[in-house]
Structure 1
Amino acid sequence: MVCGIMRDILFPSQPSAPATPEDVAAADFIDLTAENLPDGHLCCIIRKKPHPGVEAKRRWLKDRLGEGHVFRKLDVKGTVFIEYAPLETAWVPILGNNYLYIHCLWVSGAYKGKGYGRALMESCLADARAKGKSGVCMLGSKKQKSWLSDQSFAKRFGFTAVDETASGYELLALSFGGSLPRFAPSAKRETIDAQELTVYYSPQCPYIPQCVETVRQTCAEKDMPVSLIEVDTLQKAKELPCVFNNWAVFYKGRFETVNLLDAAYLGRILKK
């Protein structure tokens, strides 16, 4: 999942002091491994002290690395990374054969507009080709949404929409040949029986624990019922009733968003 903090992900309109192609080519990118994960910087949340979301993500990653999950980052204490996995083991309701799925591509702060995003994407595509994959895919939408990677950036590499939902989300794919991925049938349903606010979430994103607590507290203050459903297995993720990158919100039985919620956003949903 990419942040909407992630509207400014890649290539700002007026980048300053861009790095040269040689600088980017020589950049020191590293992959998190079982050996460096315990102390590795996870990019998303910059903290000197232990953070519950970061530690939850670290535990989640520990179990995913053996499945081929990749977390590649610039070797700095900044937000410059890509995260992807074999589609078969990616915790998303997307089906397909022999694809990689990009969960998150994020470059922020002083590192924007210097070519690091392009370098990370190119490394993912090169990895897919080297592993004999049929292509690479990611979640997008007809209209750019927060907490999703910049699909216009992805389309520069040849990604195109190969499936969509009624709510406007798209599955973007770059095919090297062969069959195309697709949303699981359940992901297109976008309805559930429960009428109360319902949030599906996984520990993949370090921002999740604080968002879960925000939802819990806000609903308690408003005396509103809420169901917080942890997606803690691959099977649960593949069978979800909507698109999902690690978070999905329903209200009155209808799918609302994959955006993480602050109190103001949640209040607008509850007024519907």
Structure 2
Amino acid sequence: MVETKRAWLKERLKEGHVFRKLDAKGAAFIEYAPLETAWVPVEGENCLYIYCLWVTGEFKGKGYGKQLMEYCLANARARGKSGVCMLGAEKQKAWLSDQVLSEKYGFEIVDTTPYGYRFLALSFDGTKPRFAENTKRLEMEHQELTIYYSAQCPYIHQSVELVRKICQEMETPYTLIPVDTLEKAKALPRVFNNWAVFYREKFMTVNLLDAAALKRLLKE
């Protein structure tokens, strides 16, 4: 819910977290934080991590994404940062920031995982952040549906409730694990951007699941 997101954000602002929204009815915003305090299993120093650069619907194609990206890059330089980074993937994921836009600004792939994710960075001084080693472990122990989640995204609460509802209807065991500290986020066994889904010893996605997608997954 929005209230949960606001409470989470209030605490993060003390750590240098930035949430900037353009005057476009909430449909155009960027959210980023110093990499050291970003709730993601990534390592590096003196960079900003972009959680989300989001422009939707009728607001696409009007330059909002460009404005937001340039604001972040200018802010990074003004704060003396070594660069800016973000999560990417071999195939664009619905809930990840637009990689095409980042590439136009010179972001490059600086690290990868064996399961299709990329770490993108625009370095001002040659600094190259990277995925934490714990994201690359081959062995997995999550047999039943297991989801790690944080309170950062306002859509998370309804997604958690949906998982509970569908799993109870299908009589499927599940585990929901709140990522409620920075330490937990840094130690996660796979990439993470507010949400990470595991099933039958496999990492599935960082995308939020609607009812149809979740049912398909559980029937596999």
Equivalent of 1:85, from 33, 36, 41?
Answer: 33
State the distance in 1 between where 2:146 and 2:139 align: 11
Aligned to 2:8: 60
Equivalent of 1:152, from 82, 100, 112?
Answer: 100
Q: Per-residue CA shift, 1:172-199, capped at 9, x if unaligned? A: 0000013200000111126431311000
State the distance in 2 between where 1:145 and 1:81 align: 18
The 8 Å contact of residues 147 and 177 in structure 2, kept in 1 or not, is answered as: yes
- Pairing 1:143–2:113 present: no
User: What is the TM-score when the length of structure 1 is the normalising length?
Assistant: 0.79
Runs (4+) of structure 1 moved beyond 4 Å?
none
2:80 is paired with a residue of what secondary structure?
A: coil
1:67 is paired with a residue of what secondary structure?
A: coil
The 8 Å contact of residues 165 and 188 in structure 1, kept in 2 or not, is answered as: yes
Q: Per-residue CA shift, 1:18-45, capped at 9, x if unaligned? A: xxxxxxxxxxxxxxxxxxxxxxxxxxxx
Among all aligned residue pairs of Structure 1 and Structure 2, give the percentage whose two residues are the same amino acid: 67
Aligned to 2:187: 239
Aligned to 2:156: 208
Aligned to 1:180: 128
Letter of the structure 1 residue corresponding to residue 73 of structure 2: L
Aligned to 1:169: 117
Q: Please, which moves more after superposition, 106-115 or 216-225?
A: 106-115
Gaps of 5+ in 1: 1-52
State the distance in 1 between where 2:138 and 2:151 align: 22
Q: Per-residue CA shift, 1:105-133, capped at 9, x if unaligned? A: 01123322111110110010000011111
Letter of the structure 2 residue corresponding to residue 184 of structure 1: A
Letter of the structure 2 residue corresponding to residue 263 of structure 1: A
State the distance in 2 between where 1:138 and 1:190 align: 23
Q: Please, which moves more after superposition, 143-152 or 53-62?
A: 143-152
- Pairing 1:127–2:75 present: yes
State the distance in 2 between where 1:222 and 1:109 align: 34
Aligned to 1:267: 215
1:160 Cα offset (Å)? 0.8
State the distance in 2 between where 1:150 and 1:76 align: 18
State the distance in 2 between where 1:130 and 1:80 align: 23
Gaps of 5+ in 2: none
Aligned to 1:32: none
State the distance in 2 between where 1:78 and 1:233 align: 27
User: What is the TM-score when the length of structure 2 is the normalising length?
Assistant: 0.97
Letter of the structure 2 residue corresponding to residue 104 of structure 1: C
Aligned to 1:13: none
Structural mapping, 1:36-115, within 5 Å:
53-115=1-63
Equivalent of 1:194, from 139, 142, 161?
Answer: 142
State the distance in 2 between where 1:208 and 1:66 align: 22
Aligned to 1:28: none
State the distance in 2 between where 1:69 and 1:190 align: 32
State the distance in 2 between where 1:211 and 1:200 align: 12
Letter of the structure 2 residue corresponding to residue 229 of structure 1: I
State the distance in 2 between where 1:190 and 1:152 align: 29
- Pairing 1:229–2:177 present: yes
The 8 Å contact of residues 80 and 108 in structure 1, kept in 2 or not, is answered as: yes
